[in-house]
Amino acid sequence: MAVERTFIMIKPDGVQRNLVGDIVSRFEKKGFKLVGGILMSVSQDLAEQHYAEHKERPFFGELVSFITSSPVFAMVWEGENVIATARNMMGKTNPADAAPGTIRGDYGISVGMNIIHGSDSPESAQREMALWFKEDLTDYDKTVNKWI
């Protein structure tokens, strides 16, 4: 397995509900490395670009207005197989179907407000990191990595 990077975003409902610490903690405890993070308001343009693959879907307008309604916490996490593992940690898109123990399964109720976004493939991780993090990400060694 390769060391990968993935784009993770805590959506406005997660920030408003004080879940930032819990979610960051889950990724830290799992053994992943935080290499970028920012609390930010999302412009209409960024929201539309981020969700471009859904622009023909009936919920697109609702999705863009939700994501621009209040700040998000955008991050990049690094580690072995982090793209797929983060998706498993998030749980299914609809929180009603997400297993207990996953982020959406533990905290989400409706598909419209499902707490967190995570890249779904290496290609989307590349695209989303380039879109959200114009500055360089932070490279550093973690001595604990020899135990992971």
50 is catalytic: no
Question: Closer CB to ligand DAT, residue 109 or residue 148?
Answer: 109
3-class secondary structure, 73: strand
User: Smallest distance from the beta carbon of 133 to ligand DAT, in angstroms?
Assistant: 19
Closest among 84, 90, 91, 125 to 1, alpha carbons compared: 84
Rounded to an integer, what distance in angstroms lies between the CA atom of residue 146 and that of residue 117?
Answer: 29
Question: Closer CB to ligand DAT, residue 13 or residue 78?
Answer: 13
Verify binding: residue 69, ligand DAT, rule CB under 6 A.
no
Residue nearest to ligand DAT (CB): 93
Rounded to an integer, what distance in angstroms lies between the CA atom of residue 70 and that of residue 102?
Answer: 24
Rounded to an integer, what distance in angstroms lies between the CA atom of residue 11 and that of residue 71?
Answer: 8
For residue 104, say whether it is annotated as part of any ligand binding site.
yes
- Residues known to be catalytic: 117
Numbered residues of the known binding site: 11, 59, 87, 93, 104, 114
